[in-house]
Amino acid sequence: MLRRLVLTLAFLGAVSSVAPATAAPVAPVSPTAASEGLLDIRSIVPDAVVDLRYATSQNFVKQRLYPPNARCLVHQSMANGLRVAASKLRATGYRLVFWDCYRPHSAQVRMYEVVPDANWVARPGNYARSHEAGRSVDVTLIVRDGHRVDMGTGFDDFTARAHAYARAGLSAAAVGNRARLRSAMQAGGLSPYSGEWWHFDGPGAGVDRPHLRAAVN
């Protein structure tokens, strides 16, 4: 009986150690964002770490493109896939960190002005796709104790080492961590982009749609 109690407590401890963190209630998105089907990632993945690089100057543009209170917004079509991916990672002690989500057209225009190379920055056009449609995310991993894992490069590293399936110049740990991230995201039906290990597309990300009007806050 004592042995059974010990095993039961150990099991419960293991479950609680990977359960989502208790999060504060998420404020509703703006009426415009709601009408365009956008959701705050924290209402989908409560333990998500939101580290929007374009809300800071720590990005390749070297300037803030989003307001400091920017939110990670994604189209509702990505919700189930992101829940599945987060659950898969959570079960093995990892959490998702979101570097970018919905990206307004004006921000895309500014990025292309700085790096006018479609191999690295999508050329802005008359229609919204991918980030501009809220149907792509840029993510990395963090472990439960708060430490980032080795992914081989940082965000927006415009070198061959940033390719999703790159191996040259990368540690075995980085290659394995990228594979772990891809596996979880693909389990949720989210597609990796071969040119950037951090970029994943949701359903219909490549379909031309009208530009969204929502702000990121």
- What's the rounded Cα separation, in Å, for the pair 215 and 209? 17
Contacts of 76 (CB under 8 A, 6+ apart): 37, 38, 39
Alpha helices in the chain (DSSP H): 2-18, 31-35, 79-90, 105-114, 172-187
50 alpha-carbon distance from chain centroid: 8
Closest residue by Cα to residue 81 from 18, 36, 136, 22: 136
User: pLDDT tens digits, residue range 44-90?
Assistant: 999 999 999 999 999 999 999 999 999 999 999 999 999 999 999 99
Domains of the chain: residue spans and CATH = 26-201 (3.30.1380.10)
pLDDT at 22: 52
Of 157 and 3, which is predicted with more confidence? 157
Are 125 and 200 in contact by the 8 Å Cβ rule? The answer is no
Q: Tell me the whole-structure pTM to 2 decimals.
A: 0.88
Beta-carbon contacts of residue 81 (< 8 Å; ≥ 6 apart):
185, 188, 189, 190, 202, 203
Active-site positions read 196
Q: Could you report the per-residue pLDDT of 120-143, keeping only the tens digit for each?
A: 899 999 999 999 999 999 999 999
Cα separation of 114 and 121, whole Å?
Answer: 9
